[in-house]
Amino acid sequence: MTKTVTDVICPFCGTLCDDLEVVVSDDGKQLLEVYNACAIGAEKFLHSQAKDRITRPRMRQEDGTWKEITYDEAVEYTANMLADAKKPLMYGWSSTNCEAQAVGAEIGEAVGAVMDNTATVCHGTSLIAVQDIGIPSCTLGEVKNRADRVLFWGCNPAHAHPRHMSRYSIFPRGFFTGKGHTGRKVIVVDPRPTDTASLADIHLQIEQGHDYELFDALRVAFKGEKLPDVVAGIPKEKIYEVAETLKSGRFAIIFFGMGVTQSIGKNHNIDAAIAVTRDLNEYTKAAIMPMRGHYNVTGSGQVWGWQFGFPFAVDLSRGFARYNPGETTSNDLLRRDEVDAVFVLGSDPGAHFPFNSVKKIYDLPSVVIDPHETPTSEVCKVHVPVAFVGVEIGGCAYRMDNVPIETRKVVDAPEGMMTDEEFLTRVLARVKELKGV
Amino acid sequence: MAEYLIKNGFIFDPVLGIKGDVADVAIKDGKIVETTALSSPKVIDATGKTVMAGGVDVHAHVAGPKVNIGRNFRPEDKLFNCTPGHGIERMQGGFSVPTTIRTGYNYAHMGYTTVMEAAMPPLYARHTHEEMRDTPILDQGAYPVFGNNWFVLEYLKNHEIENTAAYIAWLLRATKGYAVKVVNPGGTEAWGWGLNCDNVHDPVPYFDITPAQIIKGLIEANEYLGLPHSMHMHANNLGNPGNYTTTLDSFKLSEGIKPNSKFGRDQVMHHTHVQFHSYGGDSWANVESRAKDIMGYVNSHDNITIDMGQVTLDETTTMTADGPFEHHLTELNHLKWANADVELETGSGVVPYLYSPNIKVCGIQWCIGLELALLAKDPMRIFLTTDHPNAGPFIRYPRIMKWLMSQEARDQQFDAFKYKDKVIEATNLAGMDRELNLYEIAQMTRAGPAKSLGLSHMYGGLAPGLDGDVAVYDFNPNEPYAPDDIEKAFSNAKHLFKSGVQVISDHEIANNGNKRTLWVNAKANENPQVMRDIKEKFLRYYTVTLNNYEGSGHYLRNPHVIEVDATQ
Ligand code: SF4
Ligand SMILES: [Zn+2]
């Protein structure tokens, strides 16, 4: 006999689908099938069932091989590493639940760490832009129920957020959008002919790195002012057409991704994107939303927001919270040799950071907490495998529109494995002992 | 639990009717008791000091999505004010939108022990509860917003009170909410299209209902259920010159409705931050105080309570579920604007704002808030608030007490205005010599709000049986004092007890308390139609499933459930 668990949340991308159905064995130990997820989401669930999964902490030996250690030993190593360090970096926090993030923040406070999340290489620039100019936004249900103009800029949900378009942005029929796809005009701005672009009514194949100019050109076009013949590789007629399309809608939404947050201009691009959205609100209703990647990177920015007041790059090493991206961001710290230990949880900097930074992690005392073996575990001194959040343990996660959803446990973790929160709680207690607080 | 005997303080307690007499207060097992009930208490010498019940805030924005937008998008709000932890205190930061940890401690330092979060978007209930969990010491509850909710709009279009009530009961349970909040009824739904509802008869686009129908219907549904608090109202047309007529129109919708509640309140509508709703004139050039008209109505209708929304003349962060208002504000001051519309339910906006004594309108706003309080006949029905952080941060409450208690302090502020004469011309305050006393302050900050919330069985006074929430201030009302002494003393309680635990000792945080989250579990008759409607809306229009919407409640570490039986 098997059981079906409904309303399961997918702990993979910021789309945070919550309608999955998962079939598990009667004893609740094995996950057999996953329905409704996209391919990458289903893979995440099934991967947790890998037979060769590592289930106990490991410490790297002199000769580079791993030796199994107990969770107690891993707690001891981690707590000592953090307590001894002058300025440890505690990085990641995007693929775990808010409960673990909150405990992690307390550890960071106790040891004077720099807390940083994956926004640092992703939407950190967007967060900076929001501090400059604000952000008119909405929940994804507003898009589903109202939006008739949908603009994707520098993102490719067809690959990175596969169910975004069917659940929220292009295809669904909502309260005021009964015609679904046919009632919406879809615009894609991307230098590449992506799968998302192939669904667009208008594809602006912008010249790489000229996003800022095109945003500005749209602002000019809204006002009906004069444009040069070509901006960012796009003929002005096209720009006027897009401006008119956006203005004539009842509700316009702009989604943007790494193609514009991490290309030349960075946060200034997003300033301009948000200014476009502000301007549009003079004519109609408009909103803008970053396509956040990891399923709970948004949550870590929220937790740190209410605990410290800043969404990423929070330096606690002076005893109080400081925030200065460019100085307190992970790669800048690693490159300048400003941190003396590295703790990673819920991310894979080994795969996503520049080689120089990864090399620094390799040279430092380091611990990685991750259910998987990853490129990061390859360069760390201790690897602590944990239960999968959203599969083997529940907990809160924030969708890309900041909507909090409680993930579900669907199967048991292998015997004796700790969760992120349990491990961190133990580390916190030990750190407090070591620090005498 | 430890027993405490707070000896020889000057007691100000509207519940017992004590107006500054010297007496003792006894605390045992978390409650106030008769002094004879103590066996070996710890004695706190309060000789020469003022003793009151813990403060109760009916309306502040301290937890949840828009508050956190305010924190995260204003690093400048933390410039030079982030502080290290010490003792049992954790790190803190922020001025107008402090971190949750600072929020808890700062309220405690003012002697406050209960704070209600004034607007919880239901879809974001978890977030709100997570923040309240991380706010130390205070008992808290949160008001889910109903005034633009599609279920409510559809039921009230046909005046379906019973269905509305069943839905309210369900939503309070799903979100662990405390009361029925209404913000710009219909206007925020209209804002989904970039529009607004400017007065109570301005129909809501598509939904074929007026704000007046929403307001009246929600009052009736609230009384149908007999909830502890009344419907909690933020009317249409906030912040606009000439809006006092809309406010009066909104008040009038409560006429003839009697409270039906076992919780001891007398009002059927609480109208919040009335300062923002008492403007005459028809432009910013000729805006003027209409506090007299407003208070004329309030004084003669005892089924209404209000709070001030006093402007404190600070740089602050405005935030409200009144989405169109925040857009209007960003167009006026050109500062950054965040907006967060919420599917089927509500919206919100956040904009920084500088209330400058050099700007005439800010001076007029400052006067209006104080006028409301000074014109009040019954201080049990008007509460001291700043609509934190909208008109100013809550840490200014003691400054407001100073202004209310001292004409000299008010005159000092008048003299600091750049356009003093113009401000005086547009307002009535300069001619008012009333000075409130500490008893009246205790009514406005303790007994009154507790009663309005339906919590007078727990909070607001020092009668035996009430919660052991007691504040001791370094203030001797019988000795001469300068106005600033009031502000100083009430900003920094010497001792504070929360549910019988001493959380402040000699001005220092001594304990993180045992915070509770209050929510209302209203049982209404089975209503299959409403349950069908709920299922249908989740299936078709929400982007989360019904099963994922209802909070599991594990964010509420220490819930305090108030049961209401409305089955019949
Ligand atoms: S779109 Fe994202 S959240 Fe949804 S199933 Fe796919 S990976 Fe999971
Ligand atoms: Zn408010």
Q: What is the pLDDT of residues B350-393, one digit of tens each?
A: 999 999 999 999 999 999 999 999 999 999 999 999 999 999 99
Q: Which domain holds residue B243?
A: 56-452
Are B377 and B470 part of one and the same domain?
no
Q: How large is the angle between the packed helices B483-491 and B407-416, nearest 10 degrees?
A: 100
DSSP, residue by residue, A349-393: HHHHS-HHHHHHHHHS-EEEE-SS--HHHHH-SEEE--PPBTTTB
Tokens of A9: 């949340």
DSSP, residue by residue, B194-226: T----STTSPPTTT---HHHHHHHHHHHHHHHT
pLDDT at residue B552 in the model = 72
Q: B149: domain CATH number? A: 3.20.20
What average pLDDT does range B209-223 have in this prediction?
A: 98
DSSP, residue by residue, B275-299: GGG-EESSSTTT-EE-HHHHHHHHH
Best residue in A281, A306, A393, A400 to probe B by mutation, most B CBs within 10 Å? A306
C-alpha span between B393 and B543 (Å, rounded)? 35
Q: Is A355 exposed, middle or buried (0-12, 13-18, 19+ CB in 10 A)?
A: exposed
| Residue of B377, B439, B274, B194 lying closest to A146 (CA atoms) | B194
Q: Is residue B415 part of a domain?
A: yes
Q: Is residue B109 part of a domain?
A: yes
Q: Is residue B144 part of a domain?
A: yes
Q: What is the pLDDT of residues B127-147, one digit of tens each?
A: 999 999 999 999 999 999 999
Q: By CA distance, what is A284's nearest residue in B? A: B194
Which residues line ion ligand 2, judged by CB < 5 Å? Answer: B 118, 387
pLDDT at residue A188 in the model = 98
Cα angle value B171/B173/B179 (rounded, 5°): 70
C-alpha span between A239 and A223 (Å, rounded)? 12
CA distance to A70, A315, B22, B343, per residue, from A51 (Å): 20, 40, 75, 42
Distance A393 CA to ligand 1 centre (A): 18
Whether residues B65 and A402 touch (CB distance < 8 A) is answered with yes
Q: How many CB pairs under 8 A join A and B?
A: 184
Domain ranges of chain A: 2-47, 58-121+295-435, 124-290
Q: Is residue B555 part of a domain?
A: no
Q: Is residue B212 part of a domain?
A: yes
Say how many C-beta atoms besides its own lie within 10 A of residue B544's C-beta.
Answer: 23
pLDDT at residue A47 in the model = 85
Q: By CA distance, what is B538's nearest residue in A? A: A141
Q: Is B224 left (phi over 0), alpha (psi -120 to 50) or beta?
A: alpha
Are B94 and B154 part of one and the same domain?
yes
Q: Is residue B552 part of a domain?
A: no
Distance A252 CA to ligand 1 centre (A): 24
Are B225 and B86 part of one and the same domain?
yes
Q: With bands split at pLDDT 50, 70 and 90, how would you rate the model's confidence at B554?
A: confident
Q: Is A41 in the pocket of ligand 1 (CB under 6 A)?
A: yes
Which SS3 state, helix, strand or coil, does residue B394 take? Answer: helix
CB-based contact B445:B383 (threshold 8 Å): yes
Are B479 and B395 part of one and the same domain?
no
Q: Is B465 exposed, middle or buried (0-12, 13-18, 19+ CB in 10 A)?
A: exposed
Which residue, judged by its Cα, is nearest atom 3 of ligand 1?
Answer: A16
CB-based contact B519:B562 (threshold 8 Å): yes
Q: Is residue B564 part of a domain?
A: no
CATH placement of domain A58-121+295-435: 3.40.50.740
- DSSP 8-class letter at A12: S
Q: Any residues with CB less than 8 A from the CB of B169 and at least 6 apart, and which?
A: B225, B522, B523, B524, B566
Q: Is A405 in the pocket of ligand 1 (CB under 6 A)?
A: no
The whole-model pTM stands at: 0.97
What is the tally of structural domains in chain B?
2
Q: What is the pLDDT of residues A82-126, one digit of tens each?
A: 999 999 999 999 999 999 999 999 999 999 999 999 999 999 999
pLDDT at residue A52 in the model = 86
C-alpha span between A204 and B427 (Å, rounded)? 57
Residues of chain A in contact with residue B206, where contact means CB-CB under 8 angstroms, are: 176
pLDDT at residue A437 in the model = 80
- Put simply, whether A87 touches B (Cβ < 8 Å) is no
Percent over 70 (pLDDT), chain B: 100
CB-based contact B372:B311 (threshold 8 Å): no
Residue scoring higher pLDDT (A437 or B496):
B496
pLDDT for B326 beyond 90:
yes
CB-based contact B293:B243 (threshold 8 Å): no
Say how many C-beta atoms besides its own lie within 10 A of residue A73's C-beta.
Answer: 14
Are B188 and B215 part of one and the same domain?
yes
Choose the closest CB to B126 out of A134, A251, A396: A396
C-alpha span between A255 and A200 (Å, rounded)? 14
C-alpha span between B532 and B528 (Å, rounded)? 6
Tell me: ipTM over 0.95.
yes
What average pLDDT does range B175-180 have in this prediction?
A: 98
Distance A140 CA to ligand 2 centre (A): 25
pLDDT for B568 beyond 80:
no
Cα angle value B168/B169/B172 (rounded, 5°): 80
Q: By CA distance, what is A407's nearest residue in B? A: B548
What average pLDDT does range B503-516 have in this prediction?
A: 97
Are B408 and B497 part of one and the same domain?
no
Distance in Å from the first CA to the final CA of chain A: 51
Choose the closest CB to B548 out of A130, A167, A405: A405
May I ask the CATH architecture of the domain A124-290? 3-Layer(aba) Sandwich (3.40)
Which residue, judged by its Cα, is nearest atom 1 of ligand 1?
Answer: A163
Percent over 90 (pLDDT), chain B: 98
Are B290 and B226 part of one and the same domain?
yes
pLDDT for B428 beyond 90:
yes
Whether residues A309 and B94 touch (CB distance < 8 A) is answered with yes
Whether residues B75 and A309 touch (CB distance < 8 A) is answered with yes
- Put simply, whether A139 touches B (Cβ < 8 Å) is yes
Are B414 and B490 part of one and the same domain?
no
Q: With bands split at pLDDT 50, 70 and 90, how would you rate the model's confidence at B1?
A: confident
Distance B58 CA to ligand 2 centre (A): 10
Q: Is residue B235 part of a domain?
A: yes
Are B490 and B419 part of one and the same domain?
no
Atom of ligand 1 nearest to the CA of A16: 3
Which residue, judged by its Cα, is nearest atom 5 of ligand 1?
Answer: A37
Residues of chain A in contact with residue B552, where contact means CB-CB under 8 angstroms, are: 406
Are B319 and B463 part of one and the same domain?
no
Which residue, judged by its Cα, is nearest atom 8 of ligand 1?
Answer: A41
Q: Which residue stretches of chain A have pLDDT < 70? A: none
Which SS3 state, helix, strand or coil, does residue B18 take? Answer: strand
pLDDT at residue B87 in the model = 86
Are B362 and B485 part of one and the same domain?
no
Are B39 and B165 part of one and the same domain?
no
Cis peptide before B144 (omega within 30 of 0): no
Mutating to test ligand 1, I would choose from A9, A16, A17, A298 the residue with most ligand atoms within 8 A of its C-beta, which is A17
Phi, psi of B464 (to 5 degrees): -55, 140
Atom of ligand 1 nearest to the CA of A40: 7
- Put simply, whether A19 touches B (Cβ < 8 Å) is yes
pLDDT at residue A1 in the model = 85
